[in-house]
Amino acid sequence: MWHWSVLPLLLAGGVLAGTRFERRSFTVGPDSFLLDGQPFHYVSGSVHYFKVPSAYWRDRLTRLRAAGVSALQTYVEWSSHQPEEGVTDFSGQQDLEQYLRLAQELGLLVILRPGPYIDAERDLGGLPYWLLRRQNVSLRSSDPAYMEAVTGWYDQLLPRVRPLLYSNGGPVIMVQVENEYGSYSSCDAVYMTQLRDLLRRHLGDDVLLFTTDGGADYFLRCGPVDGAFATVDFGTGSDAVEAFAAQRRHNKIGGPAVNSEFYPGWINHWGYPRNVVSTEEVVNATKTLISLGANFNVYMMLGGTSFGLRAGANMGDTFEACTTSYDFNAPYTESGNITDKLYALRELIYPYTNMTEVAVPDPLPVTSYGEVKMTWQTSLLEAVQALNVTRVSDSPAVPFCDVHQAYGFVAYSAEVTWKPPQPAVLSVPGVRDRGYVWLDGRPVGVLSRAESAFSIPLLAAKENTVTIIVESLGRICYGDIHDRKGILEAVTLGGRELTNWSITALPQDLTQLVPETPTPQGDALHPALYRGTFSAADPPADSFLHFPGWHKGVAFVNGVNLGRYWPAVGPQMTLYVPAPFLRAGENTVTLLEMDGAPCGPQESCAVALKDYPDLNGPTPDRISP
Ligand SMILES: *[C@@H]1O[C@H](CO)[C@@H](O)[C@H](O)[C@H]1NC(C)=O
Ligand SMILES: *[C@@H]1O[C@H](CO)[C@@H](O)[C@H](O)[C@H]1NC(C)=O
Ligand SMILES: *[C@@H]1O[C@H](CO)[C@@H](O)[C@H](O)[C@H]1NC(C)=O
Ligand SMILES: *[C@@H]1O[C@H](CO)[C@@H](O)[C@H](O)[C@H]1NC(C)=O
Ligand SMILES: *[C@@H]1O[C@H](CO)[C@@H](O)[C@H](O)[C@H]1NC(C)=O
Ligand SMILES: *[C@@H]1O[C@H](CO)[C@@H](O)[C@H](O)[C@H]1NC(C)=O
């Protein structure tokens, strides 16, 4: 029998060596997909290019292909490509076309999910933060303030996708409209129609559009749109027969059963025990999907990492921030290591897809670089005082987006201009998500949205300065995503409003805060910046940063933001350091530690680079410093 991956060579034109071929097509038949007119089912796997260093794309896609799948499924993250208003980037780490061509070269079809909203446990569900600058904007709706930006984005994105469509010789067989829209409160049918029409206008009538929603009528009420094939998503605990029956009720044309997100693991939040799905459960559920002749996507086959403070957050019982690692307990680990789950799934997938077998590549080398001695550089407050003020405002209610701060930290400072009672309560009801408070240079406490800790008693005097450095823990990515960060309401001291605020956005590259020579330590030991160096042989190898005795902060290697670390609350104890971020010779580790380094004044402290991760630490003390 032929294998589809030889088709790109044969079928580009339609007539070859006197033989008439079907035009390259991918469509929905009565009870299966039709690839070039022939019944076809796929198994795909999710690997997101924006969670893998581009130097590792080939390695990760080769691993995906070795799992036996016939297709790659990936989201497109709008905020990665348009990080600021008016800026568009499709180069380097953002070179989506290269990623999709690489998939094709490795023999994979592609199922593309261009959002615009994607969730993916990313800040604001992958939407760019600058949309929140638009007053009263209603995200994921037909609100012109939102759709104007979507239209501009699709004008950039979709012309790049069109040549990559299957019918045009590329790998893309399906394109998703929005993402789990039926789970969103606004239920705006006009919006879904507008998105569908934009996709059609740019991509033409040949491409198969689809939607994805939870596998129950409740979710399918608002998710599907006419002209797009409705699919469902569900994990190992769900009744597949029921879910596919619901899917069928919403597709007038019938069509195959499709689970667009079959979960072999699950997401994680700081402070909550690691989520694990057993291999046996995954194997059982996979057998069921295969016995039903379903198409399914393993979400995630390899989860990767939300480097650079790009992880999102969810509203559960309280505000819950997603971990930096997106390991997902997937068949391949965050760093591409092989698990039993991968071998078990592979045995089921190959006979079902008939893909020619590709051996699983050996794991990439890992190295233990050992202890890295960290030395004090400066207190965060001092570093911030050396920056230029971004804006002066009578009210502190200036969110991150208004001072063009995508992620990280913003400092708010005001003087007490009257004699307050002793003590007086400092009240900051609108802090999102954590506020580190100083009174005249002395750290006096931490405010926390997750714990509804919005006030601190202060012994303040007239002419004292109150400084609050606010940290974003990631914008909410699911549910009500209108999550502006910073301070959103008036701040009072003893019931009276503090006014005349100086507001300073900290640089995204926090290593810029390290002074040429370390400042004296003084009494205020944290938050503070620390730095250390280590040497790597040529070529460098993957490693994992361990934080013995450290609490919470942001880690950089050679100026690359590895993400948030927070071993004090777990469960993620280490950060992944991919070899492409390292260089042969000297490498620099920089930490912004928020809650306390494991050493006092004059002592040195250390982090350690080891050859194994720890994503399953204890979660003893939710959120509290
Ligand atoms: C935003 O909404 C508020 C309250 O609904 C309203 O007073 C204000 O005029 C609106 N602003 C804009 C720019 O539409
Ligand atoms: C998996 O299926 C087997 C055989 O049907 C059953 O005995 C076992 O309990 C199942 N395991 C899980 C975790 O569901
Ligand atoms: C794989 O081969 C079997 C047996 O020839 C066939 O029934 C099945 O449809 C094929 N699957 C795919 C995805 O082509
Ligand atoms: C602060 O502003 C001045 C004047 O615009 C500029 O020369 C200087 O580089 C700025 N300093 C920083 C740290 O941005
Ligand atoms: C506001 O604060 C700045 C800096 O602290 C100060 O120079 C200025 O005089 C203050 N303005 C008012 C009106 O108090
Ligand atoms: C890779 O997996 C093996 C087997 O589970 C384990 O011994 C090893 O520590 C893992 N390495 C990394 C870097 O995860």
Residue 506: band (very low, low, confident or very high) from pLDDT cuts 50, 70, 90: very high
| Residue 619 and residue 570 in contact, taking contact as beta carbons nearer than 8 Å | yes
Task: Judge whether 109 and 100 are in contact, CB under 8 Å.
Answer: no
Write out residues with Cβ below 6 Å of ligand 6.
Answer: 333, 335, 337, 363, 366, 612-613
Ligand 1 atom closest to Cα of residue 136? 1
Taking only the tens place, the pLDDT of each residue in 546-556 is 999 999 999 99
Angular region, 134: left φ>0, alpha ψ -120 to 50, beta rest? beta
Q: Which of 82, 114, 120 is nearest to 100 (CA)?
A: 114
Q: Which of 77, 180, 334, 593 is catalytic?
A: 180
Counting ligands in written order, which one lies closest to the CA of residue 385?
4
364: left (phi over 0), alpha (psi -120 to 50) or beta: beta
Number of the ligand 2 atom closest to the C-alpha atom of 280: 13
- pLDDT, greater one: 164 or 317: 164
> Measured in angstroms, how far is the CA atom of residue 283 from the centroid of ligand 2?
9
Predicted confidence (pLDDT) at residue 26 exceeds the cutoff of 80: yes
Q: Is the distance from CB of 501 to CB of 520 less than 8 angstroms? A: no
Name the band, by pLDDT with cuts 50, 70 and 90, for residue 522.
Answer: confident
Pick the more confident residue, 253 or 464: 464
Ligand closest to CA 2:
3
**Which among 385, 390, 392, 500 is the best mutation to test ligand 5's pocket, defined by most ligand atoms within 8 Å of the CB?**
500
Answer with the residue of higher pLDDT: 329 or 22: 329
Ligand 3 pocket, Cβ-based, cut-off 6 angstroms: 40-41, 353-354
Mean per-residue pLDDT for 53-81?
Answer: 98
User: Which protein residue's CA is at the shortest distance from atom 7 of ligand 5?
Assistant: 500
Closest-CA residue, ligand 4 atom 4, reads 388
pLDDT band (50, 70, 90) for residue 53: very high
Mean pLDDT over residues 129-135, rounded? 97
pLDDT(22) > 90: no
Residues near ligand 1 (Cβ within 6 A): 135-136
What tens digit of pLDDT does each residue of 351-404 get? 999 999 999 999 999 999 999 999 999 999 999 999 999 999 999 999 999 999
Atom 1 (ligand 2) nearest CA: 284
- Compute, in angstroms, the gap from residue 337 CA to the centroid of ligand 6: 6
Per-residue pLDDT for 417 more than 90? yes
In the chain, the percentage of residues whose pLDDT exceeds 90 is 92
Task: Write down the mean pLDDT value for the chain.
Answer: 94
Ligand 1 center–CA 136 separation, angstroms: 6
- Nearest protein CA to atom 11 of ligand 6, as residue: 612
Residue closest by Cα to atom 13 of ligand 1: 135
pLDDT for 163 equals 98
Q: Determine whether 180 is an active site residue.
A: yes
Domains in the chain, please, with CATH?
A: 4-353 (3.20.20.80), 370-376+510-610 (2.60.120.260), 388-505 (2.60.120.260)
How many whole angstroms from 500 Cα to the centroid of ligand 5? 6
**Distance in angstroms (rounded) separating the CA atoms of residues 127 and 115:** 9
Please provide residue 407's backbone torsions phi and psi, each rounded to the nearest 5 degrees. Answer: -140, 170
Ligand 5: does its nearest atom lie under 6 Å from the Cβ of 500? yes
pLDDT of residue 622: 56
CA of 137 relative to ligand 1 center, distance in Å: 10
Helix axes 96-105, 144-161, angle to 10 degrees: 40
Distance between CA atoms of 560 and 589, rounded to whole angstroms?
9
471 is catalytic: no
Three state DSSP letters for 73-96: EEECCHHHHCCCCCCCCCCHHHCH
Quote the CA–CA distance of 551 and 566 in Å, as a whole number: 6
Q: Is the pLDDT of residue 11 over 80?
A: no
Cis before 423? omega within 30? yes
Rounded distance from Cα 388 to ligand 4 centre (Å): 6
In angstroms, the CA 501 to CA 394 distance is 6
For a substitution probing ligand 1, which of 135, 143, 482, 484 has the most ligand atoms within 8 Å of its CB? 135
Pocket test for ligand 5, best of 388, 392, 393, 466 (most atoms within 8 A of CB): 392
pLDDT of residue 21: 53
Which residues have CB under 6 Å of ligand 2?
278, 280-281, 284
